Amino acid sequence: MNHSTRRLGTWISSGSPVITELAALSGFDWVLFDLEHGNGTEADLPNQLRGLKGTSSRGIVRVGAPREDTIARYLDWGAHGIMVPHVHSAVAAEKIVRAAYYPPRGARGFSRSVRAYDYGMNAVTPETFKPLLIAQIETGEGVHAAKEIACVDGIDVLFIGPADLQLDLRVRPQSAPGSYEDCLGLVSEAARTAGKAAGILLRDLSDLQKHLTLGFEYIAVDSDLSLLRKGFHQINQALPVPSP
């Protein structure tokens, strides 16, 4: 898998394969299927992944928790990568890698008959598959450990979770590495020094250039539900207010 291409993504929180297909056809390099906070379930995931077929868009799944069986199953179903929330240490990052990789690097079981290998029609060896693994940095503790997490072989991206990180810095100021802006710089620098990428979710497209300048490469802009909400609100705001 080539991770050096364009890296603009968006969040799919609805669980809809139709919206997934539309996002992929619109040219996003990757889409994030959110099984932590999103409305879709594990049962929805195979059809969402099928919505990417025939496009160049990559499907990344955010798991609710880094369970080994869950990570392996989503990769078997054809996910191109896994995002894990709340990664606080190199030990936690290493567990993610072990769950996603086949031996000897990891402990994942191998089957040629899964969807990722076209149900056995695609000749493949375990050594040829390299999943994209994204560790979310969402606490001051995670920022403190960013250098060590970035150095874990197999972790590809350190990804800021803005809402959780800002909440953690606000409620635990005594353990904060600095301001939110300081944390952005620390995580970006940790990733760059280790030869990895830094990523972030943005809610406002106007923030894109700023974060590119800060060194963020894997950038997701908004979510399907947020875009729909904004569009519905804009339509309603445009309607004249009825006279009393």
Domains contained in the chain, CATH given? 8-235 (3.20.20.60)
- Distance (Å, whole) CA 99 – CA 194: 22
The mean-pLDDT minimum among 22-26, 54-58, 156-160, 236-240 falls in 236-240
Mean pLDDT confidence for 203-229:
95
- pLDDT tens digit string along 76-91? 999 999 999 999 999 9
Kindly indicate the confidence band of residue 6, based on its pLDDT and cuts at 50, 70 and 90.
low
Phi-psi region of 112 (alpha: psi -120 to 50; beta: other; left: phi over 0): alpha
pLDDT for res 123: 81
Kindly indicate the confidence band of residue 2, based on its pLDDT and cuts at 50, 70 and 90.
very low
pLDDT for res 128: 81
- Mean of the per-residue pLDDT values of the chain: 94
Judge whether residue 68 has pLDDT over 50: yes
Cα angle 150-151-157, degrees, rounded to a multiple of 5? 30
pLDDT for res 5: 44
Judge whether residue 214 has pLDDT over 70: yes
Mean pLDDT confidence for 58-83:
97
**Whether 197 contacts 220, CB under 8 Å:** no
- Distance (Å, whole) CA 223 – CA 59: 14
Joined tokens for residue 188: 């970006």
Give residue for tokens 């076209």.
118
- Distance (Å, whole) CA 48 – CA 124: 24
- Hey, is 204 helix, strand or coil? coil
Judge whether residue 72 has pLDDT over 90: yes
Active site amino acids: 37
Mean pLDDT confidence for 189-211:
96
- pLDDT tens digit string along 128-165? 889 999 999 999 999 999 999 999 999 999 999 999 99
pLDDT for res 3: 42
User: Angle formed by the axes of helices 180-193 and 162-171, to 10°?
Assistant: 120
Query: What's the one-letter identity of residue 230?
Result: K
- pLDDT tens digit string along 170-198? 999 999 999 999 999 999 999 999 999 99
- pLDDT tens digit string along 95-107? 999 999 999 999 9
Model pTM score: 0.94
- Distance (Å, whole) CA 221 – CA 9: 6
